[in-house]
């Protein structure tokens, strides 16, 4: 009764191996991504970056001072980058967003009420993807452009460690409750479906809590504030699978999402010669309602500039031209 007719047709004619009810995590992801693809006019740009200068910069990272007179501070930076390229890319994205603020914020698109308002954020809160036992969780590094590379790397390691110690179902329920409270306070009827999803998951839980997480102290797990409040997202696909590129879906109400492929070698033409180079592919997906794609082009040039001169992220201060 009241079942989708296409599903009903298939169920009558296809042998089913197993029926797996969607967990609350999967329901939440399904809701957000369906909302994203249904309401946001995505515009995507895929760009391959030659990161050979970055790799070469980190060579000899094991020495405090090399034969060329490299200082201990620069050697420390080289070791930090070589140990965690992900932290370097997260920090670099934050620096580029600082100089391209139109990509960092959130959109309130309500044409019937106020015509839509785009909030350009001063905070740069970057969420990054962590693959866990029950799916992907996106903890947030807040304002990485104002922190040292070592601090960003340590925060990312700690957040990833907490994510893998966290029951994603329980965390997403608490996050949904925080959203629902805000929605009710603002009389937002659009929250009725998420509210019903939350209530239904509480009344009829589809998955029993994993006893593995019961032994982990509460303060060793991710908290709601660790996953809510992002102004932009970086999906580091290359850390999870050997994929060269990905097309990312924006997480509303954010207006930008970046997908990073794996760092690998590929043949490129340099000085009219085919040579092996280290490359990484980035896909930037933007909300065409909030800004024109051309507004984001300077981001690409700045990203390559930091790759060509990695030491810039160590000496940069707010207000610097680059």
Q: Categorize the per-residue pLDDT at 1 as very low, low, confident or very high, splitting at 50, 70 and 90.
A: low
Quote the pLDDT of residue 238. 67
At 172, list the tokens.
Answer: 């997403």
Domains of the chain: 24-315 (3.30.559.10)
Cα gap 76→64, rounded to integer Å? 7
Evaluate whether 28 touches 176 at the Cβ level (below 8 Å).
yes
- pLDDT for 246-273, tens place per residue? 778 899 999 999 999 888 899 999 999 9
**47, exposed or middle or buried, with CB in 10 Å at 0-12, 13-18, 19+?**
middle
Evaluate whether 279 touches 265 at the Cβ level (below 8 Å).
yes
- pLDDT for 211-239, tens place per residue? 778 888 888 999 999 999 999 999 987 66
Evaluate whether 187 touches 14 at the Cβ level (below 8 Å).
no
Cα gap 161→220, rounded to integer Å? 9
- pLDDT for 184-203, tens place per residue? 888 888 778 888 888 888 87
- DSSP letter, residue 226: G
- pLDDT for 10-56, tens place per residue? 889 999 999 888 888 888 888 888 999 999 999 998 899 999 999 99
Q: Which of 191-200, 286-295, 306-315 has the lowest mean pLDDT?
A: 191-200
Quote the pLDDT of residue 322. 67
Report, as an integer, the average pLDDT of 87-91: 94
Give start and end residues of each alpha helix (H) in 18-60: 24-39, 52-57
Quote the pLDDT of residue 215. 83
Report, as an integer, the average pLDDT of 166-183: 89
Give me the residues paired with residue 274 across strands. Answer: 269
Report how far Cα 297 is from the mean position of its chain's Cα atoms: 20
**Dihedral sign, CA of 208, 211, 215, 216?**
negative
Quote the pLDDT of residue 160. 94
Quote the pLDDT of residue 65. 46
**Other C-beta atoms within 10 Å of 314: how many?**
15
At 299, list the tokens.
Answer: 């981001």
At 36, list the tokens.
Answer: 């994203």
- DSSP letter, residue 23: P
Quote the pLDDT of residue 264. 87
Q: Is 165 helix (H, G, I), strand (E, B) or coil?
A: coil
Quote the pLDDT of residue 193. 80
- DSSP letter, residue 207: S
pTM for this prediction: 0.89
* Percentage above 70 pLDDT, the chain: 93
* 90 CB-near residues (< 8 Å, 6+ apart): 126, 128, 141, 144, 152, 156, 234
């Amino acid at each position: 009764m009241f079942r989708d007719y296409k599903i009903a047709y298939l169920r009558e004619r296809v042998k089913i191996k197993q029926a797996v009810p969607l967990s609350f995590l999967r329901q939440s992801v399904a809701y957000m991504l369906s909302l994203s693809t249904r309401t946001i006019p995505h515009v995507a740009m895929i760009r391959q970056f030659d990161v050979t200068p970055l790799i070469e910069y980190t060579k000899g990272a094991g020495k405090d001072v090399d034969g060329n007179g490299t200082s201990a501070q620069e050697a420390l930076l080289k070791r930090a980058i070589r140990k965690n390229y992900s932290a370097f890319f997260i920090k670099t994205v934050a620096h580029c967003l600082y100089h391209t603020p139109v990509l960092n914020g959130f959109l309130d698109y309500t044409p019937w009420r106020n015509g839509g308002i785009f909030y350009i954020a001063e905070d740069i809160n970057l969420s990054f993807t962590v693959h866990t036992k029950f799916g992907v969780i996106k903890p947030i590094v807040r304002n990485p452009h104002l922190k040292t590379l070592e601090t960003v790397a340590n925060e990312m390691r700690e957040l990833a460690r907490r994510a893998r110690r966290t029951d994603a179902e329980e965390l997403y329920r608490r996050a949904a409750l925080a959203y629902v409270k805000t929605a009710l306070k603002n009389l937002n009827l659009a929250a009725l479906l998420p509210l019903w999803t939350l209530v239904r998951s509480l009344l009829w839980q589809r998955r029993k809590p994993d006893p593995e997480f019961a032994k982990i102290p509460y303060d060793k797990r991710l908290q709601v504030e660790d996953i809510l409040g992002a102004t932009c997202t970086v999906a580091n696909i290359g850390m999870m699978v050997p994929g060269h590129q990905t097309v990312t879906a924006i997480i509303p109400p954010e207006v930008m999402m970046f997908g990073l492929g794996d760092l690998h070698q590929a043949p490129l033409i340099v000085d009219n010669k085919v040579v092996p180079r280290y490359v990484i592919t980035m896909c930037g997906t933007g909300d065409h309602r909030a800004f024109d794609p051309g507004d984001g082009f300077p981001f690409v040039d700045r990203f390559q500039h930091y790759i060509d001169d990695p030491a810039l992220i160590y000496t940069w201060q707010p207000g610097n031209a680059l």
